[in-house]
């Protein structure tokens, strides 16, 4: 494993922990942005440049702008999001997170212990190579087969932004 990959993973883990325990929502969002950028770097290091680019453009660019825009419009205070005032909610969320992490870890462990490669979908490696590569196959299926889903997601994001503006306007009135 590359030492740069290990450094990116370590920085990502530190930012993720900082994100969880930050008191300011903007600080938490900036740490999430750092995690997304480090993840894109890891994708780039393993040779998945399309996924790294999508990670930067879609998640680190568009989605983070939406998050920060929503946080600023809703004007979140630390009193509203402080977990110290509700220890039972924090304990329940922590238990749920640990259970989810344990379940995912167990599934990954069992997958690698089985030693079998599972391929799903209609595109095998040979079919993708014959069709012109990963980027061409992905863009063709995204803008033909999944076009309606793509547009519905963009409409849902627009509705979320309008909803955030309406909620923020009610607080000021």
Tens digit of each residue's pLDDT (9 = 90 or more) over 42-63: 888 887 888 888 888 888 887 7
Tens digit of each residue's pLDDT (9 = 90 or more) over 12-40: 999 999 888 888 777 888 888 889 888 98
DSSP structure string for 78-137: HHHH-GGG-HHHHHHHHHHHHHHHHHHHHHHHHHHHH------SS--HHHHHHHT-HHHH
Q: Are residues 147 and 159 in the same domain?
A: yes
Q: Are residues 108 and 138 in the same domain?
A: no
More confident residue, 12 or 142: 12
Q: 138: Cβ–Cβ under 8 A, 6 or more apart, which residues?
A: 50
Tell me the pLDDT band of 162, cut-offs 50, 70 and 90: confident
Q: Are residues 128 and 154 in the same domain?
A: yes
Q: How many domains does the chain have?
A: 3
Q: Are residues 35 and 73 in the same domain?
A: yes
Q: Are residues 109 and 150 in the same domain?
A: no
Which structural domain range is residue 114 located in? 85-118
Q: Are residues 35 and 93 in the same domain?
A: no
Could you tell me the CATH number of the domain that includes residue 25? 1.20.120.1200
């Amino acid at each position: 494993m590359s030492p740069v990959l290990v450094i990116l993973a370590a920085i990502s883990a530190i930012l993720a922990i900082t994100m969880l325990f930050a008191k300011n929502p903007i600080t938490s969002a900036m740490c999430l942005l750092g995690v997304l950028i480090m993840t894109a770097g890891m994708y780039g290091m393993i040779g998945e440049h399309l996924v790294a680019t999508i990670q930067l453009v879609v998640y680190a660019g568009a989605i983070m702008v939406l998050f920060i825009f929503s946080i600023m419009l809703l004007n979140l205070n630390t009193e509203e999001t402080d977990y110290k005032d509700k220890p039972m909610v924090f304990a329940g969320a922590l238990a749920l997170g640990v259970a989810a992490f344990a379940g995912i870890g167990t599934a990954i462990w069992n997958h690698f212990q089985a030693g079998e490669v599972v391929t799903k979908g209609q595109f095998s490696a040979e079919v993708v190579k014959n069709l012109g590569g990963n980027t061409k196959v992905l863009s063709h299926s995204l803008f033909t087969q999944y076009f309606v889903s793509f547009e519905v997601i963009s409409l849902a994001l627009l509705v979320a932004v309008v909803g955030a503006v309406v909620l923020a306007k009610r607080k000021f009135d």
